[in-house]
Structure 1
Amino acid sequence: MNTPSLRIALLLSGDLATRFQADIAHFLCDLSVAPMFFSLPWLRRGPGLLFSLYQRLDRLLAPVAVDPFAPADLPGGLRIRELPDTAQWAHELGRMARADRLDLLIVPGDLEIPPGLPAAFRHGLLVLDFLDFASQAPVQAFAALADPASCWEPRLVWHTAKQPPRLLYRSASAVFPLSLSRTAAPACVTAARFVPRMVRELQDGGPQAWEARATPLEAAPPAAIPGNAAMRRFLFRLARRAAATAWRDIFFRPQWFLALRRGGGDPFDLGGFTPAFPPDASGWADPFPFVRDGVTHLFFEHIDKDTGHGRIAVMTQAPDGTFGPPHTVLHTPHHLSYPFVFEWGGEVYMVPESAQAARVELFRAVRFPLEWEPAATLLPGVRAVDSTLFEHEGRWWLMANLRLEGGSSWDELSVFYADSPLGPFVPHPGNPVVSDVRRSRPAGRVFRHGGRLYRPAQDCSGHYGRALAILEIETLTPRAYRETEVARHEAAVLGQGDSLHTYNSVPGLEAVDGHRYIPRLTCPRRRPGG
């Protein structure tokens, strides 16, 4: 279904737009929608002194690739209409909306909506309620940071004339405990795309598509710009967090390690794994066991202890069940990780993560397991992380998180499909099919258990790779995707560390990885009798 060209307006709190507002406008233009602009400049206000100073300092100490709150230009040639500085502004806006036959009003921020305003627009209002409308401050992100919570949830709320407000779109994003900028910016870069996604859905499916999607609105804790007294309390707590983090980073260094469980295991019960630590301060992560000619090989990311640069290594299991020393099998100038190894057509292939190269690369084994050659580029021009392939109902599917400029690689899962693992891959029309930092990013092979299809996913709320979720894929077609979380594993299951972010298995062996902190300095051992 294609609706006639939509007439959409954007409500601003001043004559100058932020990058967040400008991005929404540019995305609408990409959908052949030329938005109109209305402004309430008399409503514009700045946050308090301490909040403003904290924001400036935070941006200096924790810079982000894209600042959604920086000034930006709206699309050229589009006029801004200023609404009157009276209590009648909503009446005047409604009158102009009816005169111009406007379909939809976008409100980028939490604003008390006058009761009669949604009726003036054919499809009502869409409100991004996680920002303060008047100041454009990320108040919901700040509330989560001050708490501190492990994640926060930008959302898009639909206001219509004859219904209470309903939730149309949401996406949980991570909280970075030391920075409002790092907490708010990537999430707002993602949230700017909520509006064009829903407008495209409206164009394709009409208002029935929104009715099918809309759910009752859950009450959110009230959030407002903190005053100076509240900011002083927050800054004291923030200083304590920063001091604890600095102490840890001075005396300890992070290390990823593997953990193995032998025998037939249960992916819904991860007890009984034995850690396998690197012999030095380097890291081992993303384990992918693979059986070839009856021999088990364990591929993984080997993290350089000095540079953090990742390369792909393998250890081969001996007849006595032990694993030999690691051998590097792929090493490139760009970072490599997540060595997704699979067999097809009698040959062995690998898809390592190569997001820094801005493409998804496929390698073929020349002399398994040590030598590999490039075989194809599956997805060019994208920064995809943790690409995961599998065959299902006659098609090959590729799942990955795509990193957008300024956005997070943790939050949104995209799906592609093809007739073979060599491609070409077609993007799923529902992309992103998952938008939730707690269950989006792939964490290992898709597997079958009891006749059902499951995928492991990372929970990156709080910090990267914090926990592991197991999702049942209930629907997967070229038009639809649906999944349900059925299990969750915290890092405590390993008995140490603060993260758990990969699960893979082959007959007789399961592998996961964990993350811990080890001392930077070690005391020399005293010689006997010394």
Structure 2
Amino acid sequence: MTKHKLRIGLLLESNNLSSWSFSCIESLIHSEYAEIVLVIKNEILSEQNTAFSSKINQISYSVFRAIENKIHKPNPDALIKKNLNSILDNCKERSSLTIETEDLKQLDLIVQLDQNPIPKQLLQHVKYGIWSYYFGDYTKERKGPVGVYELFENQIDTKVSLHINGTIVNEDSVIYETSFSNDKLYCNRHANTIYWEAAHMLPRMIKELYESEPDEFFKKWLDKYSNSKIQKHQDYKFPSNFQTIKAVSKLYWKAFKGIIERRSYFEQWILLFQINSDKKRPKSFHNFKRILPPKDRIWADPFVIERKDTYYIFIEELLFSEPYGKIAVIEMDKDGNYKSPETVIERPYHLSYPFLAEDNGELYMLPETMGNNTIELYKCIAFPYKWELEKVIMNNIKAVDSTLFKHDDTYWLFTNIEEFNGIKTSGELHLFYSDSLLSDHWIAHKQNPIVTDKSCARPAGHIYESENCMFRPAQDCTKHYGYGIKINEITSLNTATYKERLKQTIYPDWSKDMFSTHTINASGDLTVMDAKIKRKR
């Protein structure tokens, strides 16, 4: 029996939508799980404070944003207008003031993509309620332009949530929540990133509702956020003249100091290692020794394998004068003496994260090849220097830091994917599985994305087993890309479920010149990792 698509109504102020809203609706229109059957024009719009005194008090903010838009133009721009009529044919339209009950009863849910009030007459009769976005912290009394207060107040991130109103719940309730790292300088770039990354949230949740039992779906998500305290009465405020001048002064003073500092110092990824005879994973990193590259390049993403009393550390090597990274190998003996790296794989696109995997007596490498829109598997022909492309595992995909793991005779592929245009790759971990490493058919996990948290999504090295437990290193990208590492214990891994829990954190706090670490691996007695430091020029 064919399952009917979810029937969706759109609550809109106008058919001229911002590009990110247009993209969200376009995903629904072209999906196999939803259809747009009704457009409701919202006649109840937000009240704007048009008082002269209010406009005077925010003139600094208006000038700042105008200058910023001249200096930096987001691309693609999430706020460029597009007309919905170009993709929506023969759809009924109704006014929110005159819509009839029978029209509402035919809908499974209503989607609202603007921030206007929801007409009370729509809160009844729609099967799964009204779904809408909320940008910012819903627990505060103050609300403002997307991401601006978060940037002005030097917060780490900006929250975005999906809310539901109507028949399913008694009051406004959170059904999904995530957060995005704040930009360091530009409000418009920050807001643009947030809009594009948020655009896929609602279609994905609607898809999950379609594929699930509705009762189970709502219990899962409403229970998860049942303790959320939503501020019912929020005042929308633009930053005042004083707030704007103070915040912008701090932002640009910090940027200016950075320019001055970069004349004397530069940032560089380096390698760290420790040889430990008890083979235990380290808890402290103060005694790790450094491997410093020449000042014209970085060495990062170390993966190690032991062969005949020698360690072979495969790394990303990127010269500052060249556009693409390549894969190189460093040989190290049991005493920690090492040779200069030698290039083993180089392509006309960027290579990094040289993940190593042994299978059926062969050694393979799965380097990051996002620059070629592929996931490529290389086979070692003559260890350690000669490698050949064995197979393109996936095409037409923007994936980073792909990590393989064999468990219960199944091959699991963990990877972060840029699933939609404009989003970043640090916040969503996807999982695929197959019965063969060389398979042409990798099956997407039912829970994809299995992790939606930039503090623990992106892989940071080999998944390893210890004392009958599985551990997955992950990057913590809350403060910035590659800030730290979290070790997560995998508690459930099968084709139906994936679960993990935090067991250890590793932050670059043991040296004053260090501010990032994002890969850790071990083989035999050797543990290797990378770190980003400031060095004098």
Same fold (TM over 0.5): yes
Matched, 1:126 2:131: yes
For residues 466 and 427 of structure 1, the distance between their equivalents in structure 2, rounded to whole angstroms, comes to: 29
Match of 2:42 in 1: 40
Q: Is residue 71 from structure 1 mapped to residue 77 from structure 2 by the alignment?
A: no
Alignment of 1:139-178 (within 5 A): 139-161=145-167, 162-178=169-185
Matched residue, 2:487: 470
- Are the equivalent residues in 2 in contact too, given 1:359–1:380 (CA < 8 A)? yes
Q: Structure 1 pair 511/19, CA: closer, same or farther in 2 (3 Å)?
A: same
Q: Is the 8 A contact 2:68 2:188 kept in 1?
A: yes
Describe the shift of the 1:327–1:245 C-alpha distance in structure 2 as closer, same or farther (beyond 3 A).
same
Q: Which secondary structure does the structure 2 equivalent of 1:218 belong to? A: coil
Distance, in Å, in 1 between the alignment partners of 2:283 and 2:465 is: 12
Partner of 1:499: 516
**Residues in 2 aligned to 1:252 and 1:462: alpha-carbon distance in whole angstroms:** 21
Structure 1 residues 82 and 233, CA, compared in 2 at 3 Å: closer, same or farther? Answer: farther
Cα deviation, residue 323, structure 1? 1.0
Write out aligned runs for 1:419-498 (5 A).
Answer: 419-424=435-440, 425-494=442-511, 496-498=513-515
Q: Please say if 1:216 is aligned against 2:226.
A: yes
How many angstroms apart in 1 are the aligned matches of 2:535 and 2:273?
A: 20
| CA distance in 1: counterparts of 2:69 and 2:479, whole angstroms | 20
Structure 1 residue aligned with 2:251, among 235, 238, 245? 238
Matched position secondary structure for 1:366: strand
Three-state SS of the structure 2 residue aligned to 1:129 is: strand
CA positional deviation for 1:435: 1.2
C-alpha distance in structure 2 between counterparts of 1:3 and 1:233, whole Å: 56
Q: Which residue of structure 2 aligns with residue 9 of structure 1? A: 9
Q: Deviations over 1:27-79 (max 9, x none)?
A: 11122433232233673769965545544543454444422222123223255
Structure 2 unaligned segments of length 5 or more: list them: 138-142
Q: What corresponds to 1:24 in structure 2?
A: 24
Q: Which whole-Å deviations, capped at 9, do the CAs of 1:370-399 have from their partners, x for residues lacking one?
A: 111000001111011001001011100111
Change (3 A) 1:2 1:450: farther
- Using the TM superposition, give the Cα deviation of residue 184 of structure 1 relative to its aligned residue in structure 2, in angstroms: 2.6
* CA shift digits 1:349-379 (9 cap, x unpaired): 1111110000011111111111110000011
Query: Is residue 265–residue 510 contact of structure 1 (8 Å, CA) maintained in 2?
Result: no
Find the aligned partners of 1:446 and 1:190 in 2 and give their Cα distance.
28
**1:8·1:106 contact (CA, 8 Å) conserved in 2?**
yes
1:124 Cα deviation from its structure 2 partner: 0.8
Q: Would you say 1:416 and 2:429 are equivalent positions? A: no
Q: Distance in 1 between matches of 2:294 and 2:495?
A: 46
CA RMSD of aligned residues (A): 2.7
From the superposition, tell whether residues 164 and 451 of structure 1 become closer, same or farther in structure 2 (CA, over 3 Å). farther
Residue 168 of structure 1: how far off its partner (Å): 1.8
Map 1:182-201 onto structure 2 (within 5 A): 182-201=189-208
Relative distance call for 1:258 and 1:387 in structure 2 (3 A) is same
Match of 2:262 among 249, 264, 277: 249
- Residues in 1 aligned to 2:526 and 2:16: alpha-carbon distance in whole angstroms: 59
Find out whether 1:327 has 2:349 as its counterpart.
Answer: no
**Counterpart position of 2:414:** 399
Task: Quickly say closer, same or farther: Cα 1:226–1:265, change in 2 above 3 A.
Answer: farther
Question: Alpha carbons of 1:310 and 1:216: their partners in 2 closer, same or farther (altered >3 Å)?
Answer: same
Q: For residues 40 and 116 of structure 1, what CA distance do their matches in structure 2 show?
A: 11
In structure 1, the residue matched to 2:140 is: none
SS at match of 2:510: helix
Q: Deviation string for 1:388-420 (max 9, x for gaps)? A: 001011100111111232110111111111112
Cα distance in structure 2, aligned partners of 1:400 and 1:60: 37
1:110/1:130 contact within 8 Å kept:
no
CA distance in 2, matches of 1:432, 1:223: 35
- Partner residue in 2 for 1:390: 405
Letter in 1 for 2:175: L
CA deviations 1:429-480 (Å, max 9, x no partner) are 2211111111111111111122111111111122111111111111111122
Which of residues 294, 301, 316 in structure 2 aligns to 1:286? 301
Aligned to 1:523: none
Contact 1:109 1:131 in 2 (8 A): no
TM-score by length of 1: 0.89
State whether residues 475 and 485 of structure 2, in contact with CA within 8 Å, keep that contact through their aligned partners in structure 1: yes
Contact conserved, 1:339 with 1:353, CA < 8 A, in 2? yes
- Shift in CA distance, 318/206, structure 1 to aligned 2, threshold 3 Å: closer
CA separation of 1:267/1:117 partners in 2, compared to 1, >3 Å: closer, same or farther?
farther
Identical aligned pairs, as a percentage?
A: 26
* C-alpha distance after superposition, 1:150-173 (max 9, x if no partner): 222211122233433332222221
Larger deviation: 355-364 or 160-169? 160-169
- Aligned CA distance change for structure 1 residues 366 and 471 (closer, same or farther; 3 Å): same
The Cα shift of 1:126 comes to 1.2
Query: 2:469·2:489 contact (CA, 8 Å) conserved in 1?
Result: yes
Can you give the 5+ residue segments of structure 1 that lack an aligned partner in the other structure? 521-530
* Partner residue of 2:376 out of 361, 377, 386: 361
TM-score (norm 2): 0.87
Cα deviation 1:120-150 (Å, max 9, x = unaligned): 3111111211179xxxx98352222122122
Conservation of the 8 A alpha-carbon contact between 1:412 and 1:433: yes
* SS across alignment from 1:202: helix
